[in-house]
A and B are shown apart, each in its own frame.
Chain A
Amino acid sequence: MFAAETLAGPSIPWFTLSPLLALLVGACVLMLGGSLLPQWPRGLYGIVSAATAATSIVLCFFLWDNLTDGRPETIIADALAFDHFAVLGTITICIAVLLASLTTSDYLVREGEDGPELFVLYIAAAIGGIVMVAAQDLIVLFLGLETLSLALYVLAASNRRREESQEAGLKYFILGGFSSAFFLYGIAFIYGATKHTNLGRIMKVLSTEQAFPRNDVLLLVGVGLLLVGLAFKVAAVPFQVWTPDVYQGAPTPVTSFMASAGKTAAFAALLRVSVTALESRVDDWRPVVWVLAVLSLVFGSVLAVTQTNVKRMLAYSSISHAGFILLGVEAASHTGSSSAGDGIASAMTYLLLYTVLVIGTFTIVGLVAGKGDVGSNLTDFRGLGRRRPALALALTVFLLAQAGMPLTSGFVAKFGVIRAAVETKSYAIAIIAMLASVIGAFLYLRIMVSAWMEDAEGEDAAPPVPFLSGLAVTAAVAFTLVVGIVPGWLLDATRQVVTLAGR
Chain B
Amino acid sequence: MITAAVVPTTTWYLVLAAGLFAIGMIGVLVRRNPLIMFMCIELMLNAVNLTFVALATELTDINGQTAVFFVLVVAAAEVVVGLGIIVSIMRRRQQATADDLAALKG
Residue from B25, B34, B45 in contact with A170 in the complex, judged by beta carbons closer than 8 Å: B34
When chains A and B are docked, how far (Å) is the Cα of A374 from the Cα of B40? 34
When chains A and B are docked, how far (Å) is the Cα of A205 from the Cα of B49? 23
Residue from A164, A167, A184 in contact with B48 in the complex, judged by beta carbons closer than 8 Å: A184
User: Contact at A185–B48, with CB atoms within 8 Å?
Assistant: yes
Dominant SS among interface residues on chain B: helix
User: Contact at B88–A150, with CB atoms within 8 Å?
Assistant: no
User: Contact at A248–B88, with CB atoms within 8 Å?
Assistant: no
Q: What's the tally of chain B residues with a CB closer than 8 Å to chain A? A: 41
Which residues of B are interface residues toward A (Cβ below 8 A)? 21, 24-25, 28, 34, 37-38, 41, 44-45, 47-48, 51-52, 55-56, 58-59, 61, 63-64, 67, 70-71, 74, 77-78, 81-82, 84-86, 88-89, 92, 98, 101, 103-106
Confirm or deny: A169 has a beta carbon within 8 angstroms of a beta carbon on chain B.
Answer: yes
Instruction: Give the residues from 128 to 157 in chain A that come closer than 8 angstroms, CB to CB, to chain B.
Output: 139, 142-143, 146, 150, 153-154, 157
User: Contact at B44–A181, with CB atoms within 8 Å?
Assistant: yes
Please give the distance in Å from B71's CB to the nearest CB on chain A.
Answer: 7
- Of A172-180, A375-383, A482-490, the stretch lying at the interface with chain B is A172-180
> Considering only CB atoms, which chain B residue lies closest to A163 in the complex?
B103
Query: Which A residues lie within 8 Å of B59 (CB)?
Result: 192, 195
User: Contact at B78–A177, with CB atoms within 8 Å?
Assistant: yes
When chains A and B are docked, how far (Å) is the Cα of A409 from the Cα of B28? 41
User: Contact at B55–A170, with CB atoms within 8 Å?
Assistant: no
User: Contact at A150–B103, with CB atoms within 8 Å?
Assistant: no
Query: Which A residues lie within 8 Å of B86 (CB)?
Result: 170
Which residues of A are interface residues toward B (Cβ below 8 A)? 139, 142-143, 146, 150, 153-154, 157, 160, 163-164, 166-171, 173-174, 177-178, 180-181, 184-185, 187-189, 191-192, 195-197, 241, 244-245, 248-249
User: Contact at B85–A173, with CB atoms within 8 Å?
Assistant: yes
Residue from B38, B71, B103 in contact with A164 in the complex, judged by beta carbons closer than 8 Å: B103
User: Contact at A173–B81, with CB atoms within 8 Å?
Assistant: yes
| Residue among B55, B81, B84 facing the most chain A CB atoms (10 A cut-off) | B81
Residue from A154, A164, A178, A181 in contact with B81 in the complex, judged by beta carbons closer than 8 Å: A154
Q: A143-B74, A146-B77, A167-B104 are in contact. Are A188 and B82 (CB under 8 A)?
A: no
Please give the distance in Å from B35's CB to the nearest CB on chain A.
Answer: 11
Query: Which B residues lie within 8 Å of A166 (CB)?
Result: 85, 88-89, 92
User: Contact at B55–A153, with CB atoms within 8 Å?
Assistant: no
User: Contact at A177–B101, with CB atoms within 8 Å?
Assistant: no
User: Contact at A142–B64, with CB atoms within 8 Å?
Assistant: no
Please give the distance in Å from B28's CB to the nearest CB on chain A.
Answer: 5
Q: Which 9 residue pairs spanning A and B have beta carbons closest together? A: A181-B44, A192-B55, A177-B41, A188-B51, A245-B104, A167-B101, A146-B74, A184-B48, A195-B59
When chains A and B are docked, how far (Å) is the Cα of A195 from the Cα of B61? 7
Query: Which A residues lie within 8 Å of B58 (CB)?
Result: 192
Query: Which B residues lie within 8 Å of A178 (CB)?
Result: 25, 28, 41, 44
Query: Which B residues lie within 8 Å of A245 (CB)?
Result: 104-106
Residue from A150, A168, A191, A248 in contact with B64 in the complex, judged by beta carbons closer than 8 Å: A191
Q: A154-B85, A174-B37, A181-B45 are in contact. Are A189 and B103 (CB under 8 A)?
A: no
Q: A143-B70, A150-B81, A154-B84 are in contact. Are A164 and B41 (CB under 8 A)?
A: no
Query: Which B residues lie within 8 Å of A181 (CB)?
Result: 21, 24-25, 41, 44-45, 48
Question: Would you list 9 pairs from A and B whose C-beta atoms are within 8 A, ordered by A residue?
Answer: A139-B70, A142-B74, A157-B85, A167-B104, A177-B38, A181-B25, A188-B48, A192-B58, A245-B104
User: Contact at A139–B77, with CB atoms within 8 Å?
Assistant: no
Please give the distance in Å from B24's CB to the nearest CB on chain A.
Answer: 7
When chains A and B are docked, how far (Å) is the Cα of A171 from the Cα of B32? 12
When chains A and B are docked, how far (Å) is the Cα of A184 from the Cα of B72? 12
User: Contact at B104–A248, with CB atoms within 8 Å?
Assistant: yes
Query: Which B residues lie within 8 Å of A146 (CB)?
Result: 74, 77-78
Query: Which B residues lie within 8 Å of A167 (CB)?
Result: 89, 101, 103-104
When chains A and B are docked, how far (Å) is the Cα of A164 from the Cα of B102? 9
Query: Which A residues lie within 8 Å of B37 (CB)?
Result: 174
When chains A and B are docked, how far (Å) is the Cα of A142 from the Cα of B64? 14
Q: A154-B84, A191-B52 are in contact. Are A197 and B77 (CB under 8 A)?
A: no
Query: Which A residues lie within 8 Å of B77 (CB)?
Result: 146, 150
Residue from B25, B70, B78, B105 in contact with A142 in the complex, judged by beta carbons closer than 8 Å: B70
Query: Which B residues lie within 8 Å of A244 (CB)?
Result: 104, 106
When chains A and B are docked, how far (Å) is the Cα of A347 from the Cα of B8? 47
Query: Which B residues lie within 8 Å of A164 (CB)?
Result: 103-104
User: Contact at B48–A174, with CB atoms within 8 Å?
Assistant: no
> Considering only CB atoms, which chain B residue lies closest to A244 in the complex?
B106
User: Contact at B104–A174, with CB atoms within 8 Å?
Assistant: no
When chains A and B are docked, how far (Å) is the Cα of A150 from the Cα of B24? 20
User: Contact at A168–B74, with CB atoms within 8 Å?
Assistant: no
When chains A and B are docked, how far (Å) is the Cα of A146 from the Cα of B64? 19
Query: Which A residues lie within 8 Å of B55 (CB)?
Result: 188, 191-192
Apart from A185-B51, A191-B67, A241-B106, what 5 extra A-B contacts exist at CB < 8 Å? A157-B88, A164-B103, A177-B38, A178-B28, A178-B44
User: Contact at B88–A160, with CB atoms within 8 Å?
Assistant: yes
When chains A and B are docked, how far (Å) is the Cα of A289 from the Cα of B30? 29
When chains A and B are docked, how far (Å) is the Cα of A178 from the Cα of B38? 9
Please give the distance in Å from A136's CB to the nearest CB on chain B.
Answer: 14
When chains A and B are docked, how far (Å) is the Cα of A348 from the Cα of B84? 35
Please give the distance in Å from B83's CB to the nearest CB on chain A.
Answer: 10
When chains A and B are docked, how far (Å) is the Cα of A200 from the Cα of B64? 17
Q: A188-B55, A192-B55 are in contact. Are A163 and B70 (CB under 8 A)?
A: no
